[in-house]
Amino acid sequence: MSNSLSHENKPRRPLPLVEAVWFSRTTLSFDLSDGRSISVPLFFYPPLLAASEDLRRGYEIHASTVYWDTLKFKLTASDLLSGKRKG
């Protein structure tokens, strides 16, 4: 049976851009270009949890991806939006 509402035919929406990154004592947050802010527990990302504040601040934003070169670690807006854990 054919389903005309197949998800395979839906165009993918582009990921929102990361506009800002910030940390609290226990969370990592991204402000996104579509107006959302997403926060996740730092323990989702052990490299960031273990890093000093200075190392956490050493990130670069490239579109929807945030890189911590010194930590050899990266996260995307999609990672935070999906709750994906990495580390």
Delimit the domains of the chain by residue range. Answer: 14-82
Mean pLDDT of all residues in 47-59: 97
CA distances from 50 to 6, 43, 53, 55 (A): 43, 9, 9, 10
* CATH code that applies to domain 14-82: 3.30.2020.40
> Could you give the residue ranges of the DSSP H alpha helices within the chain?
46-50, 53-56, 77-82
pLDDT at 9: 66
Q: pTM to 2 decimals?
A: 0.82
Mean pLDDT of all residues in 54-77: 97
Q: What are phi and psi of 48, to 5 degrees?
A: -80, -35
pLDDT greater than 70 at residue 49: yes
pLDDT greater than 70 at residue 10: no
Higher pLDDT, 85 or 1: 85
